[in-house]
């Protein structure tokens, strides 16, 4: 019999405990497939954050370290500077990366630290029960913005890729989604590209993945996917924000950043 | 024997490097020594100063509150430290840059034209060495010869000419005292 | 072994760490410890090691968390407010059992305080400092020579027990220069074996995980008992102290670090004058040398504690003596530095039976 699909050996056999419809499981699989495919699974060290994916060490079948809230880029820096031949990545959510760990993110990017960040942006604090995140959209309800986020009270959501693109340090920045198969394929490609750049020693790479949180958004999984498409992508446009010049020329024009209408 | 010394002057007069040389020479002479700089906010503006202790017994604190000896290189330093000197203590005054004289009568004052002597032998920056030479001559804390021998060890980057000039300055200080 | 050289405390500490095998340093500028990162910035690259000026104290300790997890001998340093910021990371290291070495060159507090020498961080150092039930191995040097030689002991303990180890010093010990002799041969960092727990990348069946938490019911309690067992072993095996002239003394002077050397001088002067004064100085603040105090409690009538803080160290002395001797305290916070004469004067008052001011 011909095998057409196999589960990646990059994941353990432990069943994931993420909520139905959550994006973490999909992204975990993509990350695992990428280091497996690149043949570096035994030379990869992952950093798990604080947040829902605090359990990533149980699922990703590699050497893992779980660190303090927001400090993934600093921890990955400590690893990579001492083991420059290994693949080091930090897996982080929006509260972890863009709120409490904003300084670490910014400075790892500015140093062009040769690490990769997998950034899950679902616009909410998931594990703590649905509080407002630095990427929560205007008008969006959360347990700490029950009437919806307002500019007056909370200011604006942070666009991480755009912010980091202003720095000279980052080598590769791309924003994708996992709301439909095409997005999943594109996300996989982006993660693999980021890992490849790191293995080539090029510098800081980050893939921002817009994801859904049906539980804390109070939606069905399908409704949550609609929100990603209809509400999140207009504010957080998909596309490549930074890439090496030589690769830019080789890339089809349609992948370019779509400007917000 | 216990000598608590404060050396004070403008930044650039070699107060800190002079203090280190003194401590080093004391160590070479088999004494217990400490060197303690004024650090941080204190070192910006005003006087630069440091404390050196040279002692036959172990040194408790490197902080010298009431010095046995003051090496005063400029005017503001005299005003700042005169009153702290122990009764009967030694004050070595760089008269080239200090025009006033101490009001106290219970101390021993030695006037040395430190900067003038240093300039005469080749470089005004060696005034700190003139002061130290005078100090070595006047007390038993450190030998003048050891001070000179220590120059090469403490100022590793000094060329032969500078080493010779500094040695000469120490000798001149000794003579002037 | 090496020759006797004149060194600044902060630089001696940095050089001592490098000679003890340190190959990674991350830190942030703060007075009075700046000579440590400055020294490391040129010294570590000479050894093939890495120096990183981090964007914050918090980032620095987390860089250490990562670097320690791959088995390196790592170091950070700071002064009081900066060490406060690092506490979460230190707690993580303690829980994840990562060996790290750090130094606190204490300044006056609370708040921004000042940059003067102080011993105000005794509680922070010996009571954990961060959140949760944990301990840190704390050494208190009293001289630049000890600043140079204690890092090696800290690394040995840190790796033997997989625990954070620190040097608690102050602005005096950091800034002063004194003669130094390194009493150990430099450690060849590359020849150190990689601990089996260190992350290196591995086959799936052998993969390692470094973490500081377990959310399963009862598991974190077990985790804590495991740490406690280790702490008990350290308490039994790793206490270090100095005790001089305690036999038949009427009064014991006691202090740590800078205060200790001042007590020592006061004792020497007092004995010259015929006073029966002894001296105890803890070298490890945790584990605390409880037994020496306990053994002398009741036999020696009076203990005079000297500290450059408002009564922190005295609490450990009180706990050890447990009411069986009189305890007196001479305290000078946030830049107040006692002199030998000052301490001897207090000692004389105490010996004369004066309980008016210093009795606690």
pLDDT below 50 — which residues of chain B?
none
Is the backbone peptide bond immediately before C156 cis, with ω within 30 degrees of 0?
A: no
Closest chain C residue to A11 measured between Cα atoms?
A: C204
The span from the CA of C94 to the CA of C131, in Å, is: 10
CB C137 within 8 Å of CB C238: yes
Task: Classify strands A87-93 and A44-48 as parallel, antiparallel or unpaired.
Answer: parallel
Strand-strand pairing, C137-139 and C284-286? antiparallel
Which residues, 6 or more positions from C129, have their beta carbon under 8 angstroms from its beta carbon? C83, C87, C90, C91, C136
- Give yes or no for a contact between B21 and B29, defined as CB atoms under 8 angstroms apart: no
Query: Burial letters for C64-77: b for 16+ Cβ neighbours within 10 Å, e otherwise?
Result: bbbbbbbbbbbbbb
Between the alpha carbon of residue C268 and those of residues A50, A76, B59, C51, C88, the distances in Å are 56, 53, 11, 43, 43
C-alpha–C-alpha distance, residues B117 and C49, integer Å: 48
Confidence of residue C35 (pLDDT cuts 50, 70, 90): very high
Q: Which residues of B touch C265 (CB under 8 A)?
A: 57-61
Q: Give the separation between CA C165 and CA C75, rounded to whole angstroms.
A: 10
- Give the domain ranges of chain B: 2-176
Beta strands in C196-325 (DSSP E): 209-210, 241-244, 251-254, 277-282, 284-286, 302-307
pLDDT tens digits for range B38-88: 875 555 556 789 999 999 999 988 988 899 999 999 999 999 999 999 999
- Averaged pLDDT, C128-135: 93
Q: Is C267 on the interface with A (CB under 8 A)?
A: no
**CA-to-CA distance for B166 and B159, rounded, in angstroms?**
11
Angstroms from A118 CA to nearest CA on chain C = 17
HEC string of chain B? CEEEEEEEECCCCCHHHHHHHHHHHHHHCCCEEEEEECCHHHHCCCCEEEEEEEECCCCCCCCCCCCCEEEECCHHHHHHHHHHCCCCCEEEEECCCCCCCCCCCCCEEEEECHHHHHHHHCCHHHHHHHHHHHHHHHCCCCCHHHHHHHHHHHCCCCCHHHHHHHHHHHHHHHHHC
Q: Cβ separation of B23 and C264 shorter than 8 Å?
A: no
Give chain C positions within 8 Å (CB) of A43: 201
Sign (positive or negative) of CA dihedral C238, C243, C249, C254: negative
Q: What CATH number labels C241-351?
A: 3.40.50.920
Q: How confident is the model at residue A156 (pLDDT cuts 50, 70, 90)?
A: very high
**Alpha helices, H only, chain A:** 24-37, 56-59, 72-82, 94, 102-110, 151-154, 160-165, 181-199, 214-217, 221-227, 233-235, 245-250
Tell me the C-alpha distance between B162 and C345, whole Å.
Answer: 48
A82: left (phi over 0), alpha (psi -120 to 50) or beta: alpha
A121, containing H or E segment = strand A116-121
Chain segment A67-80, per-residue pLDDT in tens: 999 999 999 999 99
Contacts of B20 in chain C (CB under 8 A): 6, 177
Whole-Å CA distances, B92 to A1, B80, B138, C331: 100, 14, 10, 35
pLDDT tens-digit readout, A96-138? 999 999 999 999 999 999 999 999 999 999 999 999 999 999 9
Q: Which chains touch C (3 or more CB pairs under 8 A)?
A: A, B
User: Of all helices (H) and strands (E), which one includes residue C41?
Assistant: helix C35-46
Do A and B make contact via 3 or more CB pairs under 8 A? The reply is no
Could you report the predicted ipTM of this complex, rounded to two decimals? 0.93
The 8-class DSSP code of residue A55 comes to G
Residue C86: helix, strand or coil by DSSP?
A: helix
Euclidean distance between CA atoms C15 and C27, whole angstroms: 16
Peptide bond into A75 cis (omega under 30): no
What average pLDDT does chain A have?
A: 94
pLDDT at C182 over 80: yes
For residues C65 and A71, is the Cβ–Cβ distance under 8 A?
yes
The domain made up of B2-176 has a fold known as Pyruvate-ferredoxin Oxidoreductase; domain 3 (3.40.920)
**What is the distance between the terminal CA atoms of chain A, rounded to a whole angstrom?**
50
In chain C, residues with a C-beta closer than 8 Å to the C-beta of A79 are 66-67, 69-70, 199
On the question of a cis peptide bond just before residue C202, with omega within 30 degrees of 0, the verdict is: no
Helix (H, G, I), strand (E, B) or coil at C277: strand
pLDDT tier at A260 (50, 70, 90 boundaries)?
A: very low
pLDDT at C2 over 80: no
Q: Pairing between strand A131-132 and A172-177?
A: unpaired
pLDDT (0 to 100) of residue B149? 94
Closest CA to B65 of B34, B86, B38, B90: B86
Q: Indicate yes or no: CB of A107 within 8 angstroms of CB of C55.
A: yes
- Interface test with chain A among C24, C62, C132, by most A beta carbons within 10 Å: C62
Mutation target to probe the C interface, by most C beta carbons within 10 A, among B39, B54, B58, B142 is B39
Count how many Cα atoms sit within 13 Å of the Cα of residue B86 in the half-sphere of its side chain: 14
Indicate the DSSP class of residue A41: G
- C-chain CB neighbours of B63 within 8 Å are 172, 337
Closest-CA residue of B relative to C339 is B61
Residue C164: what are its φ and ψ, rounded to 5°?
Answer: -65, 140
Please check the confidence at residue A63 and state whether its pLDDT lies above 90. Answer: yes
Q: Which of A58, A74, A198 to probe by mutation at the C interface, max C CB count within 10 Å?
A: A74
Q: Which residues, other chains included, contact B131 with Cβ-Cβ below 8 Å and sequence gap of 6+?
A: B7, B18, B71, B73, B92, B94, B112, B114, B173
Nearest to C176 among B35, B41, B57 (CB): B35
Please tell me which residue of chain C has the smallest CA distance to A90: C66
pLDDT of residue A186: 97
Q: How many CB atoms lie within 10 A of CB B156?
A: 6
Give C309's Cβ-side CA count (13 Å radius).
Answer: 23
Q: Which domains does chain A have, with CATH numbers?
A: 24-252 (3.40.50.970)
pLDDT of residue A217: 96
Fold of C5-191: Rossmann fold (3.40.50)
The β-bridge relationship of strands C277-282 and C241-244 is antiparallel
Contacts of C73 (CB under 8 A, 6+ apart): C17, C20, C21, C22, C23, C24, C99, C101, C155, C159, C187, C189, C192
pLDDT at A5: 85
State the pairing for strand pair B2-9/B48-55. antiparallel
Tell me the per-residue pLDDT of C48-107, one tens digit each, with 9 for 90 and over: 999 999 999 999 999 999 999 999 999 999 999 999 999 999 999 999 999 999 999 999
Residues 6+ apart with CB under 8 A from C178: B33, B34, B35, B59, B62, C6, C7, C9, C143, C144, C145
What residue ranges in chain C does DSSP mark as E strands? 5-8, 24-27, 50-53, 74-78, 101-106, 137-139, 165-170, 177-180, 209-210, 241-244, 251-254, 277-282, 284-286, 302-307, 326-331
What distance in Å separates the CA atoms of residue B12 and residue B14, rounded to the nearest whole number?
5
Task: Provide the CA A108 distance to its chain's centre, in angstroms.
Answer: 15
DSSP string, C160-181: HHT--EEEEEEHHHHH-EEEE-
Confidence at A81, pLDDT banded by 50, 70, 90: very high
Task: Please count the other Cβ atoms lying within 10 Å of the Cβ belonging to residue C127.
Answer: 14
Our CA dihedral for C157, C159, C163, C168, rounded to 10 degrees, sits at 50
SS3 C9: helix
Find the residue in C nearest to A49 (Cα): C211
* pLDDT at residue A257 in the model: 60
CA dist list (Å): A163 to A102, A236, C25, C54, C56: 11, 12, 29, 20, 20
Q: Return the SS3 of C75.
A: strand
CB < 8 Å to B27, chain C? 4, 6, 179
- φ/ψ (deg, to 5) at C290: -60, -40
Looking at the predicted structure, is the pLDDT value of residue A207 above 60? yes
């Amino acid at each position: 019999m011909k095998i057409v699909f196999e589960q990646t050996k990059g994941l353990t056999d432990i069943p994931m405990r993420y909520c139905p419809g959550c994006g973490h499981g999909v992204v975990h699989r993509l990350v695992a497939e990428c280091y497996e495919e690149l043949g570096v699974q035994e030379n990869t060290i992952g950093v798990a954050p604080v947040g829902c994916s605090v359990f990533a060490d149980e699922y990703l079948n590699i050497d893992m370290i779980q660190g303090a809230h927001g400090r993934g880029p600093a921890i990955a820096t400590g690893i990579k500077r001492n083991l420059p031949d290994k693949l080091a990545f930090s897996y982080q959510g929006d509260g972890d990366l863009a709120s409490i760990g904003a300084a670490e993110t910014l400075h790892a990017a500015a140093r062009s630290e040769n690490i990769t960040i997998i950034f899950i942006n679902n616009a909410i604090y998931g594990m703590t029960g649905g509080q407002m995140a630095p990427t929560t959209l205007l008008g969006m309800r959360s347990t700490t913005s029950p009437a919806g986020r307002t500019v007056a009270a909370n200011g604006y959501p942070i666009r991480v890729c755009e912010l980091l693109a202003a720095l000279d340090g980052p080598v590769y920045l791309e924003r994708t989604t996992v709301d439909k198969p095409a997005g999943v394929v594109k996300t996989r490609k982006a993660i693999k590209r980021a890992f490849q750049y790191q293995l080539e020693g090029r510098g800081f790479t980050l893939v921002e993945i817009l994801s859904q949180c049906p539980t804390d958004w109070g939606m069905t999984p399908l409704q949550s996917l609609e929100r990603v498409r209809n509400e999140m992508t207009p504010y957080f446009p998909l596309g490549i924000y930074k890439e090496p010049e030589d690769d830019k020329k080789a890339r089809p024009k349609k992948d370019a950043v779509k400007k917000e209408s | 024997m216990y000598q608590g010394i404060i050396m004070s002057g403008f930044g650039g007069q070699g107060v800190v490097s002079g203090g280190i040389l003194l401590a080093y020479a004391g160590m070479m002479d088999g004494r217990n020594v400490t060197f303690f700089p004024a650090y941080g906010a204190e070192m910006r503006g005003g006087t630069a100063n440091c404390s050196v202790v040279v002692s036959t017994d172990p040194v408790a604190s490197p902080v010298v509150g009431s010095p046995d000896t003051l090496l005063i290189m400029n005017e503001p330093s005299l005003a700042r430290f005169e009153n702290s000197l122990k009764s009967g203590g030694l004050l070595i005054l760089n008269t080239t840059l200090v025009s006033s004289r101490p009001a106290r009568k219970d101390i021993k004052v030695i006037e040395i034209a430190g900067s003038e002597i240093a300039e005469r032998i080749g470089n005004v920056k060696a005034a700190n060495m003139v002061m130290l030479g005078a100090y070595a001559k006047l007390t038993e804390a450190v030998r003048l010869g050891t001070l000179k021998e220590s120059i090469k060890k403490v100022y590793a980057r000094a060329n032969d000419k500078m080493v010779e000039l500094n040695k000469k300055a120490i000798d001149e200080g000794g003579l002037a005292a | 072994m090496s020759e006797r050289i004149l060194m600044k405390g902060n630089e001696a500490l940095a050089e001592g760490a490098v000679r003890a095998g340190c190959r990674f340093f991350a830190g942030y500028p703060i007075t009075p410890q700046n000579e440590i990162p400055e020294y490391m910035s040129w010294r570590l690259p000479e050894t093939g090691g890495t120096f990183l000026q981090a964007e914050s104290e918090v980032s620095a300790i987390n860089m250490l968390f990562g670097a320690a997890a791959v088995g390196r001998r790592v170091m950070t340093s700071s002064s009081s407010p900066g060490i406060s910021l690092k506490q979460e990371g230190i707690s993580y290291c303690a829980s994840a059992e990562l060996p790290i070495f750090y130094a606190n060159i204490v300044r006056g507090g609370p708040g921004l305080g000042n940059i003067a020498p102080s011993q105000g961080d005794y509680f922070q150092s010996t009571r954990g400092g961060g959140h949760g039930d944990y301990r840190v191995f704390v050494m208190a040097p009293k001289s630049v020579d000890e600043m140079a030689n204690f890092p090696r002991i800290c690394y040995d303990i840190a790796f033997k027990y997989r625990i954070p180890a620190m040097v608690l010093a102050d602005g005096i010990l950091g800034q002063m220069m004194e003669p130094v002799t390194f009493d150990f041969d430099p450690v060849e960092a590359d020849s150190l074996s990689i601990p089996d727990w260190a992350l290196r990348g591995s086959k799936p069946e052998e993969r390692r995980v470094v973490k500081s938490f377990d959310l399963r019911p009862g598991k974190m309690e077990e985790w804590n008992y495991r740490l406690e067992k280790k702490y008990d072993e350290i308490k039994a095996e790793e206490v270090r102290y100095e005790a001089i002239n305690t036999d038949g003394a009427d009064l014991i002077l006691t202090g740590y670090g800078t205060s200790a050397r001042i007590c020592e001088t006061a004792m020497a002067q007092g004995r010259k004058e015929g006073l029966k004064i002894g001296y105890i100085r803890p070298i490890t603040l945790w584990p605390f040398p409880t037994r020496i105090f306990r053994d002398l409690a009741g036999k020696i009538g009076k203990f005079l504690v000297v500290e450059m803080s408002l009564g922190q160290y005295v609490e450990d002395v009180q706990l050890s003596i447990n009411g069986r001797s009189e305890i007196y305290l001479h305290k000078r916070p946030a830049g107040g530095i006692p002199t030998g004469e000052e301490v001897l004067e207090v000692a004389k008052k105490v010996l004369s039976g004066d309980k008016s001011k210093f009795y606690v």
